[in-house]
Structure 1
């Protein structure tokens, strides 16, 4: 009996489907739009993560997906591309040494400024789903009783609109509760967890404003900051992009303001002329005028 011909079963894109040209297109879009540095070693990761996106869109090839991106057939697709290529790993009080430094070293300085009527501005850049911003708020409320009645604001931004929506909801799974120190829980939680979730108290939420922001774009903020958190975001950028980012942060800080970055990141470039290391991945601006420090007297 002769076996009948069976047509091949359609399969999901394999590693060979992500051609050199496709990878180059995706890398160029990721770099120009979001500053992401996709080295050739990231190719398996790009294939794996974007294969899921292709299936969701019912697209048969990476070439078709790249064409869709280049022709901007869906303005929101770049956001999906970003979400697929980056990892929004965060939790409350991540890298706790930063919050200890905020409580013990920075908060007393902020108290003096706040009680004298000066505004306090803090920026949680690349805030992801908001745990970092609320950890900052909880630390300040704990260290500075009455802070919610002062002119204190925490700006929390992220390039991904989806995670900003989660942050604004201020609702998290109950299994994240263990990340919050016991002393701060009453200051952050709006009652006990219910149905597997807990919500952040209004007092803490009033300190924080969430907004979408691409760090590669122009920054609309006009007021300088007393403290900037930007942790584990620059690891996605190449060295020149990192240096430019650190320089822009330094320019956006008040004199004696602080910058906190991720555990695997180090300051580089022109920012090193005006920032000094004062703690674990914690830097302080020590120049009155960034341009003068760079030798620009114009």
Structure 2
């Protein structure tokens, strides 16, 4: 889950009633459910994205859809609501300096390396982690990447591991393409699929970072939580950092997004380098 892109609905398409009260309720629900803080200026984005859900259910007003959420216990309806209000803007090897540092930190390791990609989106980040560490650990290393996100649709795409070939060519070197991807043919022409040998190193699972309590027993050598906490308020950010701290090994690394700075939020982490933190 990363940058939210506004998609205003054309005035002529405003066939669904969205009152101030409805918008306030949407903001409350997504904050409670996913920790996302929607600013006042996101009203057009909310109308556009949730409008598609409302039409799918044959409803005419936002209030009807919100009442439906209050009534149902079906998690798929709530997943639809959350999925609509999260956007997955990501890329292979995004913020490349993080992967260079990751490679240097784990080069030569022979024990099991465990990484958590928290906010894994459609899979480009955890697969980039797996490619990087597969190269530096070699055949003698053991790697486990736990990739989580709240968006069920993004996770389905990530598990499939199929991406437009042009996208992969732009973001992944030719050498890595040959090693880690299979080019599609026939009906799959124009797409590339992550090779099973890489895919088996990554386990995708739906996980809500603002849910509680976290039933996580293992510790990680590194945690990636990039461009996720920018959507949370300061109190939620502090709580997440407090939860991350005991899950990191003593020499573990916490990677965050380029616009995220938590130096004045948590005393448990100190900045090591460019948007990379270690335990204090």
For Structure 1 versus Structure 2, the TM-score category normalised by the shorter chain is: 0.7 to 0.9
For structure 1, the 5+ residue unaligned runs are 1-10, 287-298
Kindly state the Cα deviation for residue 265 of structure 1 after the two structures are TM-superposed.
1.1
Tell me the residue number matched to 1:158: 149
Match of 2:121 in 1: 128
Which among 236, 250, 260 is matched to residue 241 of structure 1? 236
Q: How does 1:73-92 map to 2 (within 5 A)?
A: 74-92=74-92
What TM-score do you get using the length of structure 2 for normalisation?
0.88
Instruction: Determine the C-alpha separation between the residues in 1 that align with 2:106 and 2:150.
Output: 28
Give me the whole-angstrom Cα distance separating, in 2, the residues matched to 1:91 and 1:99. Answer: 13
Displacement of 1:79 in angstroms is 1.1
**Cross-structure match for 1:183:** 175
- The answer (yes or no) to whether the contact 2:263–2:269 under 8 Å persists in 1 is no
> Following TM superposition, where does structure 1 have runs of at least 4 consecutive aligned residues deviating by more than 3 angstroms?
11-15, 268-271
Q: 1:208 matched to which residue of 2?
A: 202
Shift of 1:236: 1.5
Give 1:95 deviation, angstroms.
1.1
Q: Secondary structure at the match of 1:144?
A: helix
Q: Encode CA deviations 1:243-265: one digit per residue, 9 max, x unaligned.
A: 11122112210111000011111
Preserved contact between residue 152 and residue 206 of structure 2 (Cα < 8 Å): yes
User: What TM-score results when the alignment is normalised by the length of structure 1?
Assistant: 0.83
CA contact (8 A) 2:133 2:143 kept: no
Distance in 1 between residues matched to 2:241 and 2:73, nearest whole Å: 34
Is the CA contact (8 Å cut-off) linking 1:68 and 1:74 kept in structure 2? no
Highest RCO, 1 vs 2 (Cα 8 Å, sep ≥ 6): 2
Number of aligned residue pairs: 264
Show structure 2 runs of 5+ residues with no match.
Answer: 1-11
Q: CA deviation at 1:270?
A: 5.8
Structural RMSD (CA): 1.9
Match of 2:8?
none
Give the Cα–Cα distance (whole angstroms) in 1 for the partners of residues 32 and 180 of structure 2: 38
- Residues 210-229 of structure 1: pairs in structure 2 closer than 5 A: 210-217=204-211, 218-229=213-224
The alpha carbon displacement at 1:160 in A equals 1.3
The alpha-carbon deviation at position 14 of structure 1 amounts to 5.4
